[in-house]
Amino acid sequence: MKENMSDTQTPVIEVRDLHKSYGQLEVLKGVDLVAHKGDVVSLIGSSGSGKSTLLRCVNLLEDSQQGDIIFDGEPVHWKGEGLNRHPADKAQVIRIRTNLTMVFQQFNLWAHMSILQNVMEAPVTVLGEDLAVVEERARKLLDKVGIGDKCDNYPAQLSGGQQQRAAIARALAMEPQALLFDEPTSALDPELEQEVVKVIKDLAKEGRTMILVTHDMRLAADVSDHVIFLHQGRIEEQGTPDEVFKNTKTERLQQFLSATV
Ligand code: ADP
Ligand code: MG
């Protein structure tokens, strides 16, 4: 959760006036976002409003055409303009991606690897960390998310909720500065959803920095320091959970909330 000093600290993630188009289709039309250390920022909004695109741009999985992305005080260096704009510095891209790990709706575990291997893979191959050190960390993380007994199983042998918890352990194994969640519970049955919600709540309590795209308004209200409502690629309304959920200002957000609850 937010620390008192946070306003004077360098944000972990800062996005300024971000614009993103897919060809002719402008999907992000000038979006700003700030996450200080320990903040949970939730993104809510209708399907197609640009939430996933924003996360993918922050993580540099997608290029953007205008605006700044600043990671821990370090602005992304770009080359080219408009639709030709790309990150200029490969080492910086890797640094940012390994520090902002992403958890996807569809888990995206590697089917041919055991759960333990899934969690160990990136720290060993991308960061070049020592195998024994990584294995110990991976086992602890799998214990932490409640599936320590599934180390030797393959993804297909786990329930959706267990697979998603493995994916969270995998993201944590990189020891990132922030976690990016893209609708981590929306592919799950309601009873399995709660297992994953609990893990996300625990991470929030630990003071992890997170950007969370979610359709679960109760989760957003419970864990967020700041909630952003995206509508057609723009921030239509934002604020604390109380401001956004209890003192809703715009009609668009009112409509969205009454349709979701
Ligand atoms: P959300 O996550 O809020 O549902 P998205 O960020 O996935 O929204 O999508 C925002 C808009 O961008 C939608 O109109 C979607 O169709 C479009 N879009 C997303 N990904 C692509 C892509 N790879 N190519 C073209 N259009 C895309
Ligand atoms: Mg999405």
CATH code at 81?
Answer: 3.40.50.300
5 within a domain of the structure (yes/no): no
What average pLDDT does the segment 166-190 reach? 96
Tell me, in angstroms, the distance from the centre of ligand 1 to residue 221's CA.
25
| Nearest ligand for residue 105 CA | 2
Query: Which one of 18, 20, 22, 51 would you pick to mutate in the ligand 1 pocket, going by the greatest count of ligand atoms within 8 A of its CB?
Result: 22
Looking from the CA of residue 213, the nearest atom of ligand 1 is: 2
249 within a domain of the structure (yes/no): yes
6 within a domain of the structure (yes/no): no
What residue's CA is closest to ligand 1, atom 13? Answer: 48
Per residue in 3-56, pLDDT (tens digit) is 555 557 899 999 999 999 999 999 999 999 999 999 999 999 999 999 999 999
pLDDT of the residue at 8: 72
**Structural element, H or E, at residue 236:** strand 234-239
71 within a domain of the structure (yes/no): yes
Report the phi/psi class of residue 172: left, alpha or beta, with left for phi > 0 and alpha for psi in -120 to 50: alpha
pTM of the predicted model, to two decimals? 0.94
Count of domains in the chain?
1
149 within a domain of the structure (yes/no): yes
| Nearest ligand for residue 183 CA | 2
What residue's CA is closest to ligand 1, atom 16? Answer: 48
Containing structural domain, residue 36: 13-260
4 within a domain of the structure (yes/no): no
Tell me, in angstroms, the distance from the centre of ligand 2 to residue 214's CA.
9
48 within a domain of the structure (yes/no): yes
Per residue in 85-130, pLDDT (tens digit) is 999 999 999 999 999 999 999 999 999 999 999 999 999 999 999 9
Residues in Cβ contact with 154 at an 8 Å cutoff, skipping those fewer than 6 apart? 111, 112, 113, 114, 115
What residue's CA is closest to ligand 1, atom 22? Answer: 22
pLDDT of the residue at 230: 98
pLDDT at 257 > cutoff 80: yes
Looking from the CA of residue 55, the nearest atom of ligand 1 is: 6
129 within a domain of the structure (yes/no): yes
Q: Do residues 115 and 154 lie in contact, with contact meaning Cβ atoms separated by under 8 Å?
A: yes
